[in-house]
Structure 1
Amino acid sequence: MKPEPRPGQTPQGSVTGVVILGGAHGTLALARSLGAKDVPVWLVSQDTPLPGWSRRVRRKFDWPGPGDPNAIGFLLDLAAKHGLTGALLIPGGDGEVRLVSQSIEALSLAYKIMLPAWDRLKWVCEKPLLYRRAAELSLDFPPTYRFGSIDEAERAAIRFPVVLKPNMGGGDSELARAKVIRADDRASFDPVLQRAASEIGVDNVVVQELIPGGGEGQFSYSALWHDGKPVAEFTARRGRQYPVDFGYTSTFVEVVNRPDAVDAARRLLVSIRYEGLVEIEFKRDQRDGVLRLLDVNPRPWSWFGLASAAGIDLGAMVWEIANGRDAGRQTMPRSGTSWMYLVRDMVSAAILISRGRLGVGEYLRSFITVRAWATFALSDPLPGLLDIPVTAWRVLTRRVLRLSAHEQSGQAGSNLRNQ
């Protein structure tokens, strides 16, 4: 009698393809990496259409999103109706990560999943728990405040400037969309906290002292983990960001060697027996030189395409691991290799040049090292061609028009750092 197949596998034991839930630039890069290996890729998304324009995506399915009460039923029905049973399910957004991790047992009836269950993953996803675990492991992070009420926050002695973050990414609140909002003093802090508290509750708002400096001091650890240890890993530096003073997103990222980031990341991930793709963000505090932990992204990140350009094809490695094969020995990443989000980097560079913080020649020389672009690829040109008008529209509707609305209602001083 033949043994029953494990959940998420065909009777032959091989994975049938990859279903990616949500995401934008990181999802696009992952789809391209997998598609180059002739791996079938399906996209399930209710947000940006960008990855769905890729020729590497076989089909895009619209769905109500990870917050819908029937999200799990939708995904199980999708597998049954469209022959996706046995596919590897990879969440591409924060809300999707939480959904999949919290529902691994149910989703594993149809999909293979490379992600820890929520009782472990929550320790790096929920920021209060992340910083508690960091303290237990003697990892540095910025001084952080958390309040039980607005009154408590109003009485607290806060060292400004600070940033406000949601407890966890995902959702459609103002704070969730912005990811972080800066407040330089009490006058700007109080109204921002009150609006955030009215949407998600004050106990879900994390207030953290702002580490001075721009993106040049921000570093990331990027990796694929399996069975509680790294399969492949490298570190990178955020050379430029948008907006330039407090970045919503990276615009120029380059491979650098940061052993201290590797050491800190390993200690954190070992503590939860991590599994899957991950990016961990740090920032070097220019006041004391200490590298401080900021956030963890247990999903494909925006500059995921830099990995394969640097000689570490994490997408291909995920596929090998999912099929029970050896991913091969990691090669050394090509130091200095860079990734660029051209549309927004041009804006960031123009601002930095006007402020005297970047030379024209230095900016032009940075193109020499670019081996990966956020959207453009010769073998898959459509996303890159459509990205410019889509980005312009998103900036107009999500930033310019919203700012105008705030001004009309007397809320122009909110210091939004939105997309």
Structure 2
Amino acid sequence: MATIPQEPRAIESRAAAGSQKIGALVVGGDHPGLAIARSLGRRGIPVYIIDDQYCISSFSKYAAKVIRVESILDERKTVDAVLEVGRRYNLRDWVLFPTRDENVAAFSRYRDELTPFFRVTTGDWKSVEWAWDKKKTYELAEKLGIPCPMTFNPMSLDEIPALFPRLPLAVKPAVKENFFYATGAKAWRANTPEELQSLYEKAIAQIRPEEILIQEIVPGDGTTQYSYCAFVRNGRPVSVLTARRARQHPREFGRAATYVETIDAPEIEDLSERFLKAIEFHGLVEIEYKRDPRSGEYKLLDVNARPWGFHAIGSAAGVDFPYMIYADQMGLPVEPSRGRAGVGWLRMVSDIPTAISDMFHGSLGISTYVKSLRATRVESVFNAGDPLPSLAELVMLPYLAAKKYLKFQK
């Protein structure tokens, strides 16, 4: 696999022309994009954000400008919008950040169009496709001796009965976005033969059979799910932290974490670095694992080749990921670092109902919940020095919920 080309241009290329300081263009203004704006904005780096809906970043003092565009879901429309915004506001040589998987695919596939204008933090498709397509992820992991849940890719309903003895099973997509925006789910659980057949038929009505994976369910909830988070340069980690999802929603197949805490988990570092070296990855990455209580193995679930939902935990733990990738693109030095354990990140707006549900089902005690609040150093949106986004989010909740509902009805 070829090394991902990284060609940072001289900082003086813009300064010599007497124009503004080189900044960052962030695609997506939800809390991951807001965290990028805060990381860079505190250092005086201008940040522009584009989104296809009203977003909380519009109210942040660290977002110099927020621009509405037609779509950041469709790959071609996203690339066209990014280039149009770049030309309109004279953002040549700015650093381009994705915040969603569909943006990663767009920027990687159309990298040749984007790199003459922007510094693109997303790598070449020859590397990124191994993270984008879970079918490829699991195939490579198997070759590298990295444990994964047992996974099948039936091409027709006729192949489903052969899987009945392996129930319960999860029906999930190889490419998350096509499935997620059609169903609003990350995966479905099948406990019976009838459920497995029905869910496969439901899935095949939404996505191609090549993208439908049927996978063993590793027992446990988010408390057994771990993340390796890193800034990686040409397949080698520069800065790393590891974390555990203490709470997520939904509980079994979590679409998003609601409370995460950094820990020391050396077991997943070796596995992750083996994978990243094989694809010569360059950039920010989160690799998710679930510890199988039956074998003690950490089984690889997912690879996110972008800033992940709780990446803001890094700055509180001593690893400021957005600035690292910005500095890397600018040709500035990046000092190796390691995130310290015991730092909590909280998504309050979704964690409250999640915690209540977990308490009701007996999987979360009040003392454990209070301990997690005491460990929290970062809230996904609230920040005392930048309070307006959190107030705006409360006001906008009905709007954001309606937009999400309509998106899943398309």
Fold conserved (TM > 0.5)? yes
Compared CA separation, residues 256 and 68, structure 1 to 2 (3 A): closer
Partner of 1:135: 142
The structural deviation recorded for 1:396 is 7.1
The structural deviation recorded for 1:345 is 1.4
Compared CA separation, residues 171 and 37, structure 1 to 2 (3 A): farther
Partner of 1:414: none
Deviations 1:112-158 (A, max 9, x none): 11222112211121011000100110000001111212332355445
Q: State whether structure 2 residue 353 is matched by structure 1 residue 347.
A: yes
Compared CA separation, residues 347 and 317, structure 1 to 2 (3 A): same
The structural deviation recorded for 1:389 is 4.5
| Aligned with residue 265 of structure 2, among 258, 264, 267 | 258
One-letter amino acid matched to 1:248: R
Structure 1 CA distance for aligned equivalents of residues 222 and 13 of structure 2: 47
Alignment of 1:43-62 (within 5 A): 43-47=49-53, 49-62=55-68
Three-state SS of the structure 1 residue aligned to 2:279 is: coil
The structural deviation recorded for 1:382 is 1.8
TM-score after normalising by structure 1: 0.88
The structural deviation recorded for 1:188 is 2.3
One-letter amino acid matched to 1:91: P
| Aligned with residue 40 of structure 2, among 27, 31, 34 | 34
Partner of 2:4: none
Partner of 1:12: 13
Partner of 2:284: 277
Partner of 1:124: 131
Alignment of 1:13-412 (within 5 A): 16-22=22-28, 24-47=30-53, 49-63=55-69, 64-67=71-74, 69-157=76-164, 159-171=166-178, 177-330=184-337, 332-391=338-397, 394=400
Deviations 1:293-326 (A, max 9, x none): 0000111111111100111111222222111111
Three-state SS of the structure 2 residue aligned to 1:170 is: helix
One-letter amino acid matched to 2:220: G
Deviations 1:168-216 (A, max 9, x none): 2324755563222222222222232222211221221122111111111
Percent of aligned pairs sharing the same letter:
30
Q: Contact 2:164/2:193 (CA < 8 Å) preserved in 1?
A: no
Structure 2 CA distance for aligned equivalents of residues 205 and 172 of structure 1: 9
Q: Contact 1:22/1:92 (CA < 8 Å) preserved in 2?
A: yes
Compared CA separation, residues 391 and 85, structure 1 to 2 (3 A): same
Unaligned runs of 5+ in 2: 1-6, 16-20
One-letter amino acid matched to 1:241: Q
Compared CA separation, residues 300 and 52, structure 1 to 2 (3 A): farther
Deviations 1:235-280 (A, max 9, x none): 0001111223432211111010111111111000011111111100
Compared CA separation, residues 114 and 174, structure 1 to 2 (3 A): closer
Unaligned runs of 5+ in 1: 1-5, 406-419
Moved over 6 A (4+): none
Equivalent residue pairs, number: 397
TM-score after normalising by structure 2: 0.89
Structure 1 CA distance for aligned equivalents of residues 183 and 27 of structure 2: 18
Structure 2 CA distance for aligned equivalents of residues 367 and 79 of structure 1: 41
Three-state SS of the structure 1 residue aligned to 2:184 is: helix
Three-state SS of the structure 1 residue aligned to 2:385 is: coil
